[in-house]
Copies of this chain bind each other. A is one copy, B any other.
């Protein structure tokens, strides 16, 4: 049976030693974050996730959510109590603005909580996760009046939120949506339409549910330029701001899904429901994209979370299960067999998982810090530099992070052999749950197109050039011990530059050349970004070992893993560059009929 312990030490290492958060004490919300406080906060968050939320993961998967004849949805046993505890502890409010009842702490601490919750129970983590996204959209686009009514309730967790984008005939292409919003005399809108795949659309975890809904007003322009965003509460707030009359927004059905069974994925019916416009008419997509950007970083963190818990259980099994002998001769001759971990191919999977989870944690928390710097840094040049990277990296964090998260869950299941395929052991649930993160919040192919089509050319390529400079700077002047790692990273970054240049030279003439290489480019960037994190971590570890303080084994493992990642992951970058250079010709040459059955 799978278990979970939060990686507190590694997380504190990233925040305190790698990112050096104390040096940012001048930023609002950062001032009191001593290494000791970070360790306490991270430790408590980890304890909550492991002790309160994780025990509900397998049972929630088995029980799923249940909708009654009236459309009410009951979440799996224990979820209500866990949500109450979550609310009482204030974990959802950690990095939200103090003006609305949040604690105003750095975004990266919110990411830590998200990772831990997602490892513990992804289906559960999505309830506060979506609420967070909805809060962000309201903070950016809603009127002060709407913010005053909704945001404090959502920050406290009293009300939870949703995102309503998809309709039966359209997901990625939101220009096609049909849900109607008809202006009413009182300034509200009557919302009518059907939305599908609405995570947390209906449940018993909060006294109200705040739906953010994309819809079109009667005279809206066609396509994506005519989309507006509305807030549509399940219960209309009364004069005191408490849940009042029931709104005409209801759950028509629950979807049966491959995984995340503990999250209620709803078909939502809006039958002239009362909604309030968020921001301006026809500007809904922009507000929704604010939410999506945060959600994409969260998506990458989910990939990390699933990989981490799968890795822990893969490693535990490899250390305990005795089967066969080491290739170099019996490692434990007194026992009937050696533990699996002596097998190089098992090690390969474990080391790949270790290199991904620790590297991805560093990347995610670094981007979390950049989000704060982009918002709050007083030095304009530093703020702009952070802002460029925050503009560039979300599709990489989401696409690469969730792909590798899924791959890691699959590999860790593989270590368990046949036992990994058995439901009761929990490894197969990680695979089923991790799978969704590659699909939602913009399928990973859409992320790749966003990266290559929008992020890369933005500002004349300023962001990617800054990223290159960052990597090259980190590789320069490295001492002999880390030279092999820096050299491989520098070479991989060189491949990424060549691929970038190839797009500049070939995508103008034929945009399909960009599309054909986009996915490979997203993965190249992800590998180089993790390589950057590993070189930085190796430097920190080297310095710590030289100073003789702390746990030498921990820092030694960082050095070994940095080397492993350089040797194993970096070669892939060159192969991906060559795939990109293949271009679109063979890929697009066949007529659609050639994909019928022969």
Contacts and interface: CB of A to CB of B under 8 A. Distances in A.
Nearest to A515: B344
A244 interface: no
Interface string A563-598: 110011001101110110010101111111111111
Given A337-B176, A421-B439, A597-B7, A345 B449 contact: yes
A328 interface: yes
Given A344-B516, A423-B258, A510 B588 contact: no
B432 A258 contact: yes
Contacts of A258: 421-423, 428, 431-432
A200 interface: no
Interface stretch (A102-110, A154-162, A179-187, A317-325): A317-325
B445 A595 contact: no
B414 A345 contact: no
Interface stretch (A25-33, A167-175, A211-219, A279-287): A167-175
Given A439-B418, A516-B344, A587 B564 contact: yes
A315 B596 contact: yes
A504 interface: no
B418 A197 contact: yes
Interface stretch (A297-305, A368-376, A461-469, A553-561): A553-561
A344 B588 contact: yes
Interface in A424-442: 424, 428, 431-432, 435-436, 438-440
Copies of this chain, count: 2
Contact of A584 (B173, B344, B346): B344
Centre residue among A350, A518, A598 by max chain B CB count within 10 A: A598
A341 interface: yes
A515 to B, nearest CB: 3
Contacts of A576: 571
A453 B519 CA distance: 35
A257 interface: yes
A481 interface: no
Contacts of A424: 256
A585 to B, nearest CB: 8
A293 interface: no
Nearest to A337: B173
Interface string A493-521: 00000000000000000111011101100
Contact of A564 (B318, B448, B586): B586
B597 A422 contact: no
Contact of A519 (B345, B410, B443, B564): B345
A445 B414 contact: yes
Given A344-B588, A439-B421, A516-B344, A328 B511 contact: yes
A101 interface: no
Nearest to A554: B598
A30 to B, nearest CB: 24
Contacts of A578: 571
Contact of A318 (B324, B348, B589, B595): B595
A560 B575 contact: no
Contacts of A423: 256-258
Interface in A360-415: 406, 410, 413-414
A343 interface: yes
A10 interface: yes
A444 interface: yes
Given A339-B592, A414-B445, 7 more contacts: A315-B595, A344-B516, A345-B519, A414-B443, A414-B444, A421-B435, A571-B576
Interface of A: 5-10, 13, 166, 170-173, 176, 196-197, 255-259, 312, 315, 318-319, 322-324, 327-328, 336-337, 339, 341, 343-351, 354, 406, 410, 413-414, 417-418, 420-424, 428, 431-432, 435-436, 438-440, 443-445, 448-449, 453, 510-512, 514-516, 518-519, 553-554, 557, 560-561, 563-564, 567-568, 571-572, 574-576, 578-579, 582, 584, 586-598
Closest 9 CB pairs of A and B: A344-B515, A567-B582, A571-B578, A327-B511, A575-B575, A258-B428, A315-B595, A345-B445, A564-B586
5 contacts: A5-B597, A10-B598, A196-B418, A341-B592, A564-B582
